[in-house]
Amino acid sequence: MDISSLRERPVNGALTVSELNAYIKRMLDSDRFLGAATVRGEISNFVHHRSGHFYFSLKDSEGQIRAVMFRSAASSLRFMPENGMKVTVFGTVSVYTRDGTYQLYASSIQPDGIGALYLAYEQLKEKLSKEGLFDEIYKRPLPKYPSCVGVITSPTGAAVRDIINVIGRRYPLADIYLMPALVQGASAEDSLIAALDTLTSSGLADVIIIGRGGGSIEDLWAFNGERLARRIFASDIPIISAVGHETDFTICDFVADLRAPTPSAAAELAVPDYRELSIRLDGTFDRCRSALVGRVERSRSRLLDARARVMGKTPELLLSQRTGELKEKKEALLRAFGEKMNGRKNSLAAVAGRLEALSPLAVLSRGYAVVENERGLVRRADDLSLGDRITVRLSDGKIDATVERKQ
C-alpha cells in the first residue's frame, strides 16, 4: 500500500484500520528522535517467552510504555532483567500495526546505577548459593601428600611460573601436570572446561589448581561462568581456585573446594613443606629413641629390684640361676634397642636419599638437562619439529637452541 497516497484523499474519505495504523507507523518510523530513543524507567510485567523474546513494560511514577526485546538482542545481555529493576533502555519507538499500539523496541538494556557484569555476577552467585553449590558439606579435603598437582591456567602467564617455583621449593616429590587453557576472552570458559574435563578423566592429578593472575572484572569473567562452576562442583578431584589477587572474588572461588588469594598461595596450600616434614621426622626419631632408652632403663631398674629381692630372700643358688636369666634379658633388650636404632637411622637415611635424588637440581647436577619450548616442558622427541626453538636448562644455566635433526 502506498502510504503517501493517503494524504491525497478527501478530508471525509474513510480509512481502513490497517491503513491508519500503517500511516501512524510510517510517521513514527520517520522521526529521527524516536528512531534512537534512550528511556530510563522501572521494569514491570516482565515475561521471558519460550521463543527467547523479552516482553515487559517500562514505567515511572506518572506513566508506562510497553516494550519488547527480540531474541537476537536479548541473547547478548550479560544479566537477566527482573521486575522492579531500574534500567536504561536504548531502542526505537514504533507501532505494532496488528494491535494499533505503539511500543519501545529495545536493542540494549543497561542496569541503572550498576554494571551489567556485576549484576550478572550477583544473580548467578545468588542462584548457585540457593542450590547449595557453595555449602561446606560438599567441600572435598585436600590430599596431605599429593604425588601430582594438576594446573589449569595460561602456559605463558606469571601464575604458572609462580606455582611451579613454589611447589618445586616446598615439595619436589610432587609432579606438576600443566593443562594449558585460555583464561580471558569469549572462548575462555569453553577452554577451561575442556582442560578440566581432560585432567579429571586422565586420573593423573591428586589435586587441581585452576586460576590466573589479576585483572578487571572483564578479564576474570571466564571464571564467573555457570557451566564452569557446575563442572568444578561435579569434579571428583579436589580443586583449588586461585583467580586474581587477594581482593578478587569469582564464582569459581565459592564453588571450589578451597579458595586461595593468589596462585602462589594456592601452590602452598596444595603441597606440604618437605623441610617441615624432615623436622617432624627427626622429632619422631628422637621420641622413639628416648622411648627405647627409657624402656631399657626401666627394665634395668626392675632387674636390679628383682635381684635385690632375690638376694634378700633366697640362697645363693637361686641368685646364681636368676643372674643368668637377667643377663640374657638385658642382652636381648640391648640388641632390640640397637636394632630399633639402626632401623630408624636406615629409614631416615633412605627418606633423605629419596628427597635428594628427586630434587630437580640434583638431577641436573648429574649431567641431565630439561628441555622446554614455548608450550612448556618437552617430554618426548615427537613433541618437537625441525626448526623449533627450544631452551635447554642445565645445572648452571640455560641454552637457547634450534632443532636441526631428530633420531
pLDDT at residue 7 greater than cutoff 60: no
Of the chain, the percentage scoring pLDDT greater than 90 comes to 29
Cα angle 315-321-326, degrees, rounded to a multiple of 5: 120
- The reported pLDDT for the residue numbered 252 is 93
For 110, 157, 201, the CA distances from 221, given in Å and listed in that order, are 18, 17, 25
pLDDT at residue 183 greater than cutoff 60: yes
CA–CA dist 45, 56 (Å, integer): 5
Cβ 256 vs Cβ 230: under 8 Å: no
CA–CA dist 353, 152 (Å, integer): 32
Report, as an integer, the average pLDDT of 300-318: 69
Instruction: Give the tens place of pLDDT for each residue, 49-87.
Output: 888 899 998 887 778 889 999 998 888 887 788 887 788
| 109 beta partners | 89
Dig out the grid coordinates for 293 from the structure. Answer: 632408652
**pLDDT band at residue 254 under the 50/70/90 scheme:** very high
Instruction: Give the tens place of pLDDT for each residue, 128-140.
Output: 999 999 999 999 9
Cβ 67 vs Cβ 101: under 8 Å: no
Report, as an integer, the average pLDDT of 130-155: 93
CA–CA dist 298, 290 (Å, integer): 12
Listed ranges 195-209, 274-288, 345-359; the one with the highest mean pLDDT: 195-209
Dig out the grid coordinates for 159 from the structure. Answer: 601464575
- The reported pLDDT for the residue numbered 85 is 79
Residue type, 377: L
- The reported pLDDT for the residue numbered 239 is 96
Cβ 243 vs Cβ 211: under 8 Å: yes
Characterize the bridge pairing of strands 239-243 and 54-59: unpaired
**3-state secondary structure (DSSP) of residue 103:** strand
Dig out the grid coordinates for 64 from the structure. Answer: 508506562
pLDDT at residue 317 greater than cutoff 70: no
Report, as an integer, the average pLDDT of 233-257: 90
- The reported pLDDT for the residue numbered 390 is 85
Residue in this structure with the C-alpha cell 589435586, named with its chain if needed: 207
**pLDDT band at residue 344 under the 50/70/90 scheme:** confident
Residue type, 276: E
Cβ 152 vs Cβ 208: under 8 Å: yes
pLDDT at residue 310 greater than cutoff 80: no
For 37, 76, 369, 397, 401, the CA distances from 361, given in Å and listed in that order, are 67, 52, 10, 11, 21
Alpha carbons within 13 A on the beta-carbon side of 252: 32
**pLDDT band at residue 39 under the 50/70/90 scheme:** confident
- The reported pLDDT for the residue numbered 301 is 80
CA–CA dist 260, 246 (Å, integer): 8
The total number of residues shown for the chain amounts to 407
